[in-house]
Amino acid sequence: MHQDPQPGGAPAHDPRRRRWLLLAGIALAGVVIVIALVRIGDGGDAEPDASTGDTVEAPDDRGAGADDGSDRATAESPTTTTEPPPPPVALLTPTGIPVMVIEPTAAGYLVLTPCGNTVEISGGEPIGPVRVVIDPGHGGPVETGTVGPNGLIERDLNLVLSDAVLAELEARGISAATTRTDDYMVQLGVRVELADALESEALVSIHHNGPTWDLQDTPGTEVYVQSESPTEARAASVRLGGLLYEEITKALGTFEDVQWSGLPDGGVKRVLLSDGTDTYALVRHPDTPSALVEYGYLTNASEAELFATDEYIAVAAVATADAIEAYLETDRPGTGFVEEPRYYNPTGLVIECVDPTLEPEPEVPGEPWDEEADGSEEAPDGDTGDAPDGGGPAGSTEGETGGSPEAEP
């Protein structure tokens, strides 16, 4: 039986329609395969392999000569190296002694001791550089300096005044250090080397004079300045001395009822040996501009009484700091200059120098005393077991170093 075609289309079982659908399906499958192959060929982003966890990297299609700038970045990157800090020029030891550092060592520092010996210490508080070094004259059981009628010892007075000057300078923001912190001897050459190592702009040595000369109405202050240093340092020393003399005599002149002692040629002056070199080591040796101040005459009873007061220390410290500040910050010339030098040849002294303790001795655990082990017996009551008086080794000296510093004024 013959059927009519469906309205508006091909018959339901038309062979041409089936061929067209088959060809379309094959074409679509081909397109999908081509796209997949293109993605694999381009490399895309590397995908992790789920089975192994490894990463499959895409090939580099830029060629062997391609430059991504990484070499330039490496070459142009700045190289930074950290320099170790320089060693300190000086240290305040654990026991409070200022010492100059010679060089660092594996265990600490090699330093110059107050007696001029070279020893190794483990460390300390760094000092310097500073603008000013204050030097308390004398020190120790032998180098006492002048002694007043009231028993006031110059070495102690110099130290007290020096500490007050240091405090006054610190309050003004002027960095300063000292050559001596307690009652021990410091060789003159060591004081000078410490001041030079600290790169200071001024070294002021503090002293009180003797013996007593004629009495007068004005302070007999004297300041000794350099004569042999290079021209620039010598001129700076003279100006420093003039400012110290000006400020100190003005301040001391405010004290009433004091009979002062002095010499007719007192003032700011050069004191020379007969060969024309500076008498005093503190002005002869340093590269640092220096001045040695004799504030007054401790051997004079009237002045010694004043010097023992807190008021004197406070007034003299402020005057000294005023002079130092003027030296550092102004061009003022100072006053009191004496043209003619004084010639003075002190007798050379050889003084034993014993270094102070620079750091505590390490504690060594001891064992209980065993009477049987060492064969000793306890001394009877009232007998300490010490040798009789004078029983020590003949000529023995505790801590002898054989130092021979130059004489101080």
Is residue 196 within 8 Å of 288, Cβ to Cβ? yes
pLDDT at residue 118, as a whole number = 98
pLDDT at residue 348, as a whole number = 67
Q: Which two tokens stand for residue 407?
A: 């004489």
pLDDT at residue 8, as a whole number = 43
CA pair distance 234, 287, nearest whole angstrom: 10
Which residues, 6+ apart, have CB-to-CB distance to 288 below 8 Å?
133, 192, 195, 196, 200, 201, 202, 203, 233
pLDDT at residue 62, as a whole number = 46
DSSP state of 397: -
Virtual torsion, Cα 243, 245, 250, 253, nearest 10 deg:
170
Task: Please identify which residue in the block is written with the tokens 């007075």.
Answer: 157
Phi, psi of 171 (to 5 degrees): -65, -25
pLDDT at residue 368, as a whole number = 55
Phi, psi of 348 (to 5 degrees): -65, 140
pLDDT at residue 377, as a whole number = 45
pLDDT at residue 350, as a whole number = 78
pLDDT at residue 389, as a whole number = 35
Which residues in the chain show pLDDT less than 50? Answer: 1-13, 15, 38, 43-66, 69-70, 72-73, 371-407
